[in-house]
Amino acid sequence: MRLEDKIALITGGSRGIGRATALRLAREGAFVYINFLTNETAAIDTLKAVEETGGNGKILQCDVSDFQAVQTMIKAVINEKGKLDILINNAGMTIDGLMARTKESDWDRMINTNLKGVFNCCQAVTRQMMRQRKGRIINITSVVAQAGNAGQTGYASSKAGIIGLTKSLAKELGSRNICINAVAPGFIDTDMTQMLAPADKQMVRDQIPLGRLGKPEDVAAVVAFLASEDASYLTGQVLGVNGGLYM
């Protein structure tokens, strides 16, 4: 198993891509901390699924946009396990709408969850990973950070910020054997894309060379690769998992 004895934390691990990632990392041998915001039932369900497939893990409630709460969460993990090998910054949300109609509070929520949340978690783990002289951080960005999307200026900005953060932190921490990469999913079939009207989904599908929306497992497989020794010479990269939607 590629991730035997590794300790991993997946933010937003209760649903969608985070859930699939928790399952995949656990299947590859990692102990998985499954973070969630409010949906404890979904987090428990993910943990049960992990355990049913022979894996081990634990759920952790924490709002990633809250700097102090994140410090407390990461300290708890390190106190319990003595290390943290893999951080997956997956928690995210969107409030779509044209710029002209975007409320300041909605803009702030997207930036605070999607971008500041990644800063909060990276900031909290770096000292420990530097001490370990080893670590993997995988940040989930989005195809819309690369291509733009009308109605998603706030979301796209937060996700584009993650790319800048990923590349800069990869330069800061490369000498300490810490690899930081980003994964940019295209349109993935999760709660987040349930809000798309069937006609819009079809329009998206028509633009995808592979002819289908992605599954959370498609993304999880790439995240697991980046977390593994197979990816030990990759850092500062953005891997698109989008069926060819953006090349």
CB of 146 to ligand NDP, least distance (A): 10
| Closer CB to ligand NDP, 17 or 137, in the complex | 17
| Closer CB to ligand NDP, 30 or 220, in the complex | 220
The amino acid at 224: A
Q: Which residues bind ligand NDP (CB under 6 A)?
A: 11-12, 14-18, 35-39, 42, 63-65, 90-93, 113, 117, 140, 142, 185, 187-188, 190-193
CB of 158 to ligand NDP, least distance (A): 8
| Closer CB to ligand NDP, 12 or 154, in the complex | 12
Cα–Cα dist 239/247, whole Å: 10
| Closer CB to ligand NDP, 130 or 217, in the complex | 217
- Catalytic hit among 33, 155, 233, 246: 155
The amino acid at 129: M
Is 155 noted as a catalytic residue in this protein? Answer: yes
For residue 1 the two structure tokens come to 């198993």
Residue 208's contacts (CB-CB under 8 Å, 6 or more residues apart) are 186, 187, 242, 243, 244, 245
Residue 117's contacts (CB-CB under 8 Å, 6 or more residues apart) are 11, 64, 65, 70, 89, 91, 92
**Structure-token match 């995210």, residue found:** 92
Region for 151 from its dihedrals, namely left if φ exceeds 0, alpha if ψ lies in -120 to 50, beta otherwise = left
CB of 123 to ligand NDP, least distance (A): 15
CB of 225 to ligand NDP, least distance (A): 17
**What is the rounded radius of gyration, in angstroms, for the C-alpha atoms of the chain?**
17
Q: Catalytic residue positions?
A: 155
